[in-house]
Amino acid sequence: MKLYLVQHGEARPESEDPQRSLTQRGMEAVRNVAKIAKKLNLHPTVIHHSGKLRAEQTARILADSLGKPAAAAGGLNPNDDVRKWVDRISREKGDVMIVGHLPFLEKVASLLLAGDENTRPVLFRYGAVVCLEKKETGGWAVRWVLTPEMAA
């Protein structure tokens, strides 16, 4: 099983846009990443995203490129408890993509990779995809990371 963790694309500051929609640069970066993701033949069964506009916009771009459904899900906000999602991920049969925010994504990766949500072994970037893979032994490992700079 693979888990794709995606930090939303670059968003406008709250002072400029209270909804924090993606900037033009953010949309373009996510589109570039989505094109490479399609070439990598990613097959998440669903793309979960938080209810925040920037995560939804990022998820929709990826969903359109990959031909997969995107759906808002609870518990994916920046400071939500990650243990509920880690438990949910462990029960999934197929590959899963989560589009969300920091520090939530950092904590999920930390808990899966190191057993401690505060170790932060992965550096996330706006619009980047971090692919984790579940090992036969039950633990997790980083398979690869795709950043917007790599996709440009």
- Residue partners of 147: CB distance under 8 A and separation at least 6: 33, 125, 127, 128
Residue 116 scores a pLDDT above 90: yes
| pTM exceeding the 0.85 threshold for the entire prediction | yes
Q: Kindly state the DSSP code that residue 53 receives in the 8-state scheme.
A: H
76-86 in b/e form (b: 16+ CB < 10 A) is beeebebeebb
pLDDT mean over 49-67: 98
pLDDT computed for residue 59 by the predictor: 98
In the chain, % of residues over pLDDT 70: 100
The Cα–Cα gap between 68 and 4 comes to 13
**3-class DSSP state of 67:** coil
Calculate the alpha carbon distances from 125 to 6, 27, 38, 135, 138 in Å: 9, 14, 19, 25, 27
pLDDT mean over 103-109: 98
Indicate the fold that domain 2-94+104-151 takes in CATH.
Rossmann fold (3.40.50)
- The phi, psi pair for 76, rounded to 5°, reads -115, 15
How sure is the predictor about 117, in pLDDT bands with cuts at 50, 70 and 90? Answer: very high
pLDDT computed for residue 9 by the predictor: 98
Per domain, the residue ranges of the chain are 2-94+104-151
The secondary structure of 108-136 as a DSSP string is: HHHHHHHS-TT---S---TT-EEEEEE-T
How sure is the predictor about 145, in pLDDT bands with cuts at 50, 70 and 90? Answer: very high
How sure is the predictor about 93, in pLDDT bands with cuts at 50, 70 and 90? Answer: confident
The Cα–Cα gap between 151 and 83 comes to 31
